């Protein structure tokens, strides 16, 4: 990890550049992809045997999938998100990595953002305490007027190959919903406010050193605008923002998640909510994967940049309120992405691995990344995921077979206006 720390400053500059690019798209249009991207979408097919590629997969009449694929040093990374050229694009992403670990264990680990929450940190520990009912609202981001993909590119930083890509949603509509039902079985009565956020962007920087891969994930949540409360007491004043993530973990040998050095399973009965700065996945005494979560984040308050420390907690599945399941990723989106992952992208996963499952109730590790200072202002953060791979002298994994996609060109991004 010493080498990783010495490189953080350079990488942070790189991710900051990507985040600036991600934020600089127009909010004026109502179509998801600009004319240049649409015009080039029928021009090529992409082979997943290639080292890296990005493109569009036809999913149906009105909704498509945009992807990034990387196949380097015997490990594959796949990123997927939905978009539409007809309607506002739904907001649903998935990031997965497949590799052989350095103890001959086959591994697939996926990660997806499930839900955002606004909370009042009355306990002053930086995270929402569910037992103290600190969660004020579910913050749902529904769809976006514009969708701008940034195709994967390969560049060299200090003689190390980096693969960078991202997506940017423009002018995102969303809702604040009370976490408790006001009237039984009537979802609309839970509506606290209708809001828009200027943009929502995800950028990625993936690189490998020796038998260790690093994936920096830049998250940019734009500021809240067009705040339309449905009651006089609805406010974002003094509230923090919490992002709930679910993971998919599949290994050919039994694994354990360690939180603060102790075994942890989000699905276990009465699993505690546990503050942590990182989590590890191990098989036996070998580390397979690591989540590095607590780092500084940037708050953009009217173009004045402020730095704060993020907080993170491992969470039990049962801590997700039952009525929140109504608002989590629509089943049709998860189902179609599940079929794509298991049938087209990773059909050669070992038969000893179970089918890939994306539902949060199946996740053995649910975690929250929390930003105690928010109040509706813009946030930028970049957690890191680390995978420990089979040494490079080993035989690489056979890549999956090719499947047809439509290419999307990199789009020049005009400046965002607040």
Q: Please tell me which residue, 303 or 18, carries the higher pLDDT value.
A: 303
pLDDT value, residue 63: 80
**Range from 289-303, 306-320, 359-373 carrying the lowest mean pLDDT:** 359-373
pLDDT value, residue 398: 36
**Range from 200-214, 302-316, 340-354, 369-383 carrying the lowest mean pLDDT:** 340-354
pTM across the whole model: 0.81
Q: How far apart are CA 209 and CA 228, in angstroms?
A: 49
Nearest Cα to Cα of residue 317 among 362, 350, 258: 362
CB-count exposure of residue 156 (10 Å: 0-12, 13-18, 19+): exposed
Q: Are 369 and 383 in contact (CB under 8 A)?
A: yes
pLDDT value, residue 37: 38
Which tens digits make up the pLDDT trace of 298-319? 999 989 999 999 999 999 888 7
Q: How far apart are CA 111 and CA 341, in angstroms?
A: 13
Q: How far apart are CA 334 and CA 130, in angstroms?
A: 27
pLDDT value, residue 392: 52
- The answer on pLDDT for 46 being more than 80 is no
What mean pLDDT comes out for the span 30-49?
A: 39
Q: What is the CA 67 to chain-centroid distance, rounded?
A: 13
Q: How far apart are CA 6 and CA 121, in angstroms?
A: 34
Which tens digits make up the pLDDT trace of 258-275? 999 999 999 888 889 999
Which tens digits make up the pLDDT trace of 71-117? 998 888 989 888 888 889 988 888 989 899 977 888 989 888 888 99
For residue 29, what are the CA distances in angstroms to 191, 209, 274?
27, 41, 43
- The answer on pLDDT for 373 being more than 90 is yes
**Range from 42-51, 104-113, 331-340 carrying the lowest mean pLDDT:** 42-51
Question: Domain segments of the chain: what residues?
Answer: 2-388
Q: How far apart are CA 111 and CA 289, in angstroms?
A: 12
- The answer on pLDDT for 25 being more than 60 is no
- The answer on pLDDT for 144 being more than 70 is yes
pLDDT value, residue 380: 96
- The answer on pLDDT for 353 being more than 90 is no
- The answer on pLDDT for 287 being more than 90 is yes
């Amino acid at each position: 990890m010493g080498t990783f720390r010495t490189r953080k400053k350079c990488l942070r500059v790189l991710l900051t550049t990507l985040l600036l690019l991600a934020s600089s798209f127009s909010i004026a249009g109502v179509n998801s992809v600009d004319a240049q991207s649409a015009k080039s979408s029928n021009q090529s097919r992409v082979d997943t045997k290639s080292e890296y590629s990005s493109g569009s997969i036809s999913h149906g009449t009105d909704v498509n999938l945009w992807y990034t694929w990387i196949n380097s040093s015997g490990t594959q990374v796949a990123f997927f998100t939905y978009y539409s050229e007809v309607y506002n694009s739904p907001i649903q992403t998935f990031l997965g990595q497949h590799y052989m670990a350095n103890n001959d264990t086959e591994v697939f680990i996926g990660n997806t953002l499930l839900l955002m929450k606004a909370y009042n940190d009355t306990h002053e520990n930086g995270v929402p305490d569910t037992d103290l009912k600190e969660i004020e609202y579910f913050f749902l981001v529904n769809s976006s007027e514009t969708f701008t993909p940034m195709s994967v590119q390969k560049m060299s930083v200090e003689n190390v190959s980096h693969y960078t890509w991202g997506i940017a949603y423009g002018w995102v509509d969303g809702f604040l919903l009370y976490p408790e039902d006001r009237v039984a079985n009537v979802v609309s009565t839970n509506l606290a406010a209708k809001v828009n956020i200027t943009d929502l962007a995800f950028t990625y920087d993936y690189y490998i050193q020796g038998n260790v891969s690093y994936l920096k994930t830049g998250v940019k949540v734009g500021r809240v605008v067009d705040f339309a409360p449905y009651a006089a007491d609805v406010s974002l004043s003094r509230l923090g923002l919490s992002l709930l993530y679910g993971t998919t973990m599949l290994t050919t040998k039994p694994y354990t998640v360690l939180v603060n050095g102790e075994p942890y399973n989000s699905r276990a009965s009465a699993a505690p909510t546990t503050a942590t700065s990182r989590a590890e996945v191990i098989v036996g005494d070998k580390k397979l994967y690591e989540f590095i979560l607590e780092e500084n984040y940037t708050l953009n308050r009217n173009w004045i940049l402020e730095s704060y420390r993020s907080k993170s907690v491992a969470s039990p599945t049962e801590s997700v309120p039952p009525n929140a399941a109504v608002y989590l990723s629509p089943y049709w989106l998860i189902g179609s992405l599940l079929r794509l992952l298991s049938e087209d992208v990773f059909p050669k996963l070992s038969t000893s691995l179970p089918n890939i499952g994306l539902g949060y109730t199946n996740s053995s590790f649910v975690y929250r990344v929390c930003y105690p200072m928010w109040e509706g202002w813009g946030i930028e953060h970049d957690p890191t995921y680390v995978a420990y791979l089979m040494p490079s002298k080993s035989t690489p994994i056979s890549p999956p077979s090719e499947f047809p996609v439509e290419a999307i060109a990199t789009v020049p991004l005009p400046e965002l206006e607040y």
